[in-house]
Amino acid sequence: MLGSRAARFARGLRSVGLASLPGWRGRSFALARETGAPHGGDLQPSACPGPRGRQLSLSAAAVVNSAPRPLQPYLRLMRLDKPIGTWLLYLPCTWSIGLAAEPGCFPDWYMLSLFGTGAILMRGAGCTINDMWDQDYDKKVTRTANRPIAAGDISTFQSFVFLGGQLTLALGVLLCLNYYSIALGAGSLLLVMTYPLMKRITYWPQLALGLTFNWGALLGWSAIKGSCDPSVCLPLYFSGVMWTLIYDTIYAHQDKRDDVLIGLKSTALRFGENTKLWLSGFSVAMLGALSLVGVNSGQTAPYYAALGAVGAHLTHQKWGLKILPRLIL
């Protein structure tokens, strides 16, 4: 259930904006920006009518709905109809790849494409694992009861086989990288397998999600450079973890009632009325870490201007958040 919060977050909130971090040292860094449109970031439907009088749509949900019927449960299982979670996994990779680009050069488009493919596959695998772990919980919550495994559209065995297929394809993508990156990427599998369980044992499952979703901040740099520069990669990874704590804590407040009823934990329940104070701390830590990234990678004025815009957006989002004074069950 936690693994899909990032995807559902875009339905109620604008994107955090951290993704727009241009990096220059006389270099050009491709603008990476999270798209947080309604309905899980789907594109708006086209106004062109279809051949049978129906509107054509390029939204992710419409593409999934137009797929062959036997295939649709598997596409929904990997959340292809809700692509914002894939963006949240992919963007840290783009920051790292962009920062690793040579001065004056665009990021490596081949690596951006490769990591985009990997993000789709690994996000799908994470959602499959999440739904396998949570199928009994999902059946008890109206919002999740129609998920393919909980609804009985896909059996546990079928989902396990499907998971194997996704991981095999993801391994194929990983093997396109250098040996250092292959070993580093393999190290994330333990996080991918276990983070859905964290909401059962700790009030900090969002931290586990952040550690998992931002692994690309390490992997993108190593894919370009052949190894990680700790002075850049570690603060970049840390800032991504703080970002995840911000957006997923905000979203977790929408699930508080269900979480209490079925015995799950979250930072929203842990922070309660002090959520805005905690979010302020996470924001300061994130911006501080990104400033350190800029200093250590030799960034110039545009980078810090973008960082200021990110800080303003976070402040606006935080103060626009309404927290119920207490949870009434």
Structure confidence by residue, pLDDT tens digits, 10-64:
444 434 343 344 343 333 333 333 333 333 333 344 444 444 445 556 788 898 9
**Are 212 and 317 in a shared domain?**
yes
Confidence check: pLDDT of 93 > 70: yes
Q: How far apart are CA 224 and CA 145, in angstroms?
A: 42
118: amino acid identity, one letter? G
How confident is the model at residue 56, as a pLDDT? 56
Contact indicator for 202, 266 with CB cutoff of 8 Å: no
State the pTM of this model. Answer: 0.79
Q: How confident is the model at residue 143 (pLDDT cuts 50, 70, 90)?
A: confident
Tokens at residue 171, please?
């391994």
Residue 293 in domain: yes
What does the radius of gyration of the chain's CA atoms come to, in whole angstroms? 20
Residue 282 in domain: yes
Among 209, 206, 176, residue whose Cα is nearest residue 269: 206
**Are 172 and 266 in a shared domain?**
no
Residue whose token pair is 């690994």: 122
Residue 157 in domain: yes
**Are 72 and 98 in a shared domain?**
yes
Q: Output DSSP code: residue 220.
A: H
Question: End of a domain among 176, 201, 227?
Answer: 176
Residue 273 in domain: yes
Q: How far apart are CA 269 and CA 202, in angstroms?
A: 11
The b-or-e profile of 247-279 (16+ CB within 10 A means b, else e) is bbbbbbbbbbebbeeeebbbbbbbbbeebeebb
Contact indicator for 149, 138 with CB cutoff of 8 Å: yes
**Are 92 and 206 in a shared domain?**
no
Q: Output DSSP code: residue 175.
A: T
**Are 242 and 160 in a shared domain?**
no
How confident is the model at residue 139, as a pLDDT? 85
**Are 216 and 310 in a shared domain?**
yes
How confident is the model at residue 103, as a pLDDT? 81
Instruction: Please give, one letter per residue, the 3-state secondary structure of 127-172.
Output: HHHHHHHHHHHHCCCCCCCCCCCCCCCCCHHHHHHHHHHHHHHHHH
**Are 113 and 78 in a shared domain?**
yes
Contact indicator for 265, 203 with CB cutoff of 8 Å: yes
**Are 170 and 198 in a shared domain?**
no
Contact indicator for 121, 168 with CB cutoff of 8 Å: no
Q: 210 lies in which domain range?
A: 193-322
Q: How confident is the model at residue 318 (pLDDT cuts 50, 70, 90)?
A: confident
Q: How far apart are CA 52 and CA 58, in angstroms?
A: 17
Confidence check: pLDDT of 142 > 90: no
Domain count, the chain: 2
**Are 103 and 168 in a shared domain?**
yes
Average pLDDT over residues 152-180: 95
Q: Beta-carbon neighbour count of residue 75 at 10 Å?
A: 18
Cα angle at 73 between 72 and 76, to 5 degrees?
A: 85
Residue 127 in domain: yes
Structure confidence by residue, pLDDT tens digits, 106-115:
999 999 999 9
Range with the poorest average pLDDT among 282-286, 289-293, 323-327: 323-327
**Are 76 and 167 in a shared domain?**
yes
How confident is the model at residue 29, as a pLDDT? 33
Residue 220 in domain: yes
Q: How confident is the model at residue 138 (pLDDT cuts 50, 70, 90)?
A: confident
Q: How confident is the model at residue 242 (pLDDT cuts 50, 70, 90)?
A: very high
**Are 81 and 160 in a shared domain?**
yes
Q: How far apart are CA 35 and CA 15, in angstroms?
A: 6
Residue 30 in domain: no
Residue 18 in domain: no
Task: Please provide residue 219's backbone torsions phi and psi, each rounded to the nearest 5 degrees.
Answer: -70, -35
**Are 86 and 172 in a shared domain?**
yes
Tokens at residue 189, please?
């599998």
How confident is the model at residue 5, as a pLDDT? 46
The b-or-e profile of 114-149 (16+ CB within 10 A means b, else e) is bbbbbbbbbbbbbbbbbbbbbbebbeebeebeebbb
Average pLDDT over the chain reads: 83
